[in-house]
Structure 1
Amino acid sequence: MNWKRPWGVTLIGYFYIFSVLILMITLITNSTESTDLAIRFGLPNISENAVKVLVILIYLTMIYGYLKLKKWGYWILMTNSFYLLLRNIIIFQEDSPQLSYSSMIVSIIFYSTIIIYTLIKREYFYVKYIRS
């Protein structure tokens, strides 16, 4: 039995690929605009560029495993999504001046949707059949 990757998994993977491309562009062009990525990931004492490189490496690994329907890709994505959802809720409750309310609400909805959809499709990551 061949399992095809659900379209939602592909869409989520492409969103992450797009975010990696944006991070690479801002890293290469030495963008002077602060993205507050270090704050969003809970690493305020580390430089923005170091956090960008770390996020790019983690996301590339996660995207590969997720799009190939690997168990470890599923767990990395779920762990990342839960962590960022909790971080965004904490930042939202702290009334952080660095991040706007609209971006916080959108990111909370985004990560909640990813978690719910991936939980619904978790059987695709646990099959032992040949995947196509």
Structure 2
Amino acid sequence: MQNPEPLLLTLDVSLPVAPEAAQCGFPSPAQDYPTEELSLVEHLIRDRAATYFWRAAGRSMEPLIPDGALLIVDRGVTPVPGRIVVAIVDGEYTVKRLHVDQSGQVTLRAENPGFPHLVLPELSEMTVWGVVTFIISPAS
């Protein structure tokens, strides 16, 4: 993984919103013009000072996080089991799903079944750097 890029405090991207929802079932006639604007920052960023962009590298989290996807990571969100986190394990950054079993054993789980989960031995040093709040990847 590459180092995070801090969110620019002046960043605000507002884009037009279509007047109707796009049907995923049968087509619906839609109007040809947007009626309002939506701020992406307002919808994707909870706390600008604690939010960073990370570029994902590797395939252990596919298909959920494809190689090269842009991750929005919030350092102010409490890491709870089940969330995807950026963790530092023995000095190395990794993105995995946080799991803690009943005995307190921490496992960082890969989404891709072809990759092993990372079970943390007792003497391993692990810190959750932040929680992935959004994944931005190109449509396939």
TM-score range, shorter chain: under 0.3
Larger Rg: 2
Compute the TM-score of the two structures, normalised by the length of structure 2.
0.23
Larger helix proportion, structure 1 or 2?
1
